[in-house]
Amino acid sequence: MLIEHRGVGPIVHPDAFIAPTAVVSGAVRIASGARVLFGAVLTAEDGEIDVGANSVVMENALVRGRASHPAVIGKDVLIGPQAHINGSRVEDGCFLATGVALFPGAVVGAGSEVRIHAVVHVNSVLPAGSLVPIGWVAVGDPAQVFPPDRHTTRSGRFRKSWTSPAPCTGWRGGPRLVS
């Protein structure tokens, strides 16, 4: 389903495939040979999304473009089922497995692999050819990779950057989440 949002509709190359149950909304550009499979949602919320040639967004994945963080998917990228790509840049030839989460400002360098249920945090940058193992968390620029039970041991500098939900939501009000 192609949906216009705030006066802007998707642009889909004629040889791209959009499954009938996929949702593509707003300023989304889908290049030649790309595939958006069943139940996937690509939504540009006052931002933009670019999906490169021959890339695949698998079943029930979410790709969200934000005003301050467009979602840019390079060519020959595979985004696995139930992945969540939120205002991130994924360079050419990357593999993002089932349930991966990329947060606003994250960059995944060319040819990188982010495996099942791994996370790339806000404004973190994975160099080209990187690997984030199953369930691990990448944090920083350049990213350091931590097992799931150790990602909070990162310096206070990272934890202090998460005093509000603003990096992910743009919302600036409310109480501090971390002191």
What is the structure's pLDDT at 169?
53
pLDDT digits (tens, 9 = 90+) for 23-57: 999 999 999 999 999 999 999 978 999 999 999 99
Q: For residues 113 and 115, what is the distance between their CA atoms, to the nearest angstrom?
A: 6
Rounded to the nearest 5 degrees, what angle is found at the Cα of 149, between the Cα atoms of 143 and 153? 55
pLDDT digits (tens, 9 = 90+) for 102-150: 999 999 999 999 999 999 999 999 999 999 999 999 999 999 999 988 7
What is the structure's pLDDT at 178?
42
Q: Which residues contact 150 (CB under 8 A, 6 or more apart)?
A: none
Amino acid letter, residue 50: D
Query: How many helices and strands, by DSSP H and E, does the chain display?
Result: 2, 23
Amino acid letter, residue 26: G
CATH superfamily label, 2-149: Hexapeptide repeat proteins (2.160.10.10)
pLDDT digits (tens, 9 = 90+) for 61-79: 999 999 999 999 999 999 9
Beta-carbon-side half-sphere exposure of residue 141 (alpha carbons within 13 Å) = 8
What is the structure's pLDDT at 46?
83
Enumerate the domain spans of the chain.
2-149
What's 84-102 look like in SS3? EEECCEECCCCEECCCCEE
